[in-house]
Structure 1
Amino acid sequence: MLRRSLSAEKRSNEVPKGHFAVYVGESEKKRFVIPLSYLNNPLFQELLCQAEEEFGFHHQMGGLTIPCSEELFIDITTHLSRA
């Protein structure tokens, strides 16, 4: 049982091929793993522009941080997954 939970924790930090991790949230950052194909979408590119304006190329979380609420991000990615 312990081995299983430890391996599950290790897997949760891995990013599957064709995906990337981002951190989203206003006060507490939550990690999301999303498809690389989102990078081509103008709606997602707008989020990237906002991230660049706010953070430049330095992200405190060690990964890409998107400066929007978790709810907005979920709405956007839900829309993108349907497209």
Structure 2
Amino acid sequence: MRMKSSSTPRGFMAVYVGENDETKKRYVVPVSYLNQLLFQELLSKSEEEFGFDHPMGGLTIPCHESLFFTITSQIR
């Protein structure tokens, strides 16, 4: 679910997805994704690259959008 507004509904969180600053886009995903192994693998990649200092001011996932879509489409 991609949102342009800066608001995030209750039960959701904003993530920034992209391989570099020019391609990063903001998406709003359910907080329940945090419990999913596939999503946790994306978070591990994010931790390796950024630690706790995320350049976009929110959780940044450094991967191609198509990989993000593939992974999140498998989460139920």
Give TM-score, length-normalised by structure 2.
0.88
In structure 1, C-alpha distance between the alignment counterparts of 2:26 and 2:42, rounded to whole Å: 15
Which aligned pairs between 1:1-83 and structure 2 lie closer than 5 A? 12-27=5-20, 28-80=23-75, 83=76
Which ranges of structure 1 fall in alignment gaps of 5 or more residues?
1-8
Structure 1 outlier segments of 4+, above 6 Å: none
Partner deviation per Cα, 1:18-76 (whole Å, 9 max, x = no partner): 00000001131000000000000011111111100000000110001001100110111
> Percent identity over the alignment?
62
Aligned pairs, number: 71
Structure showing greater Rg: 1
TM-score with structure 1 setting the length: 0.81
Bigger helix fraction = 1
Tell me the secondary structure at the aligned position of residue 13 of structure 1: coil
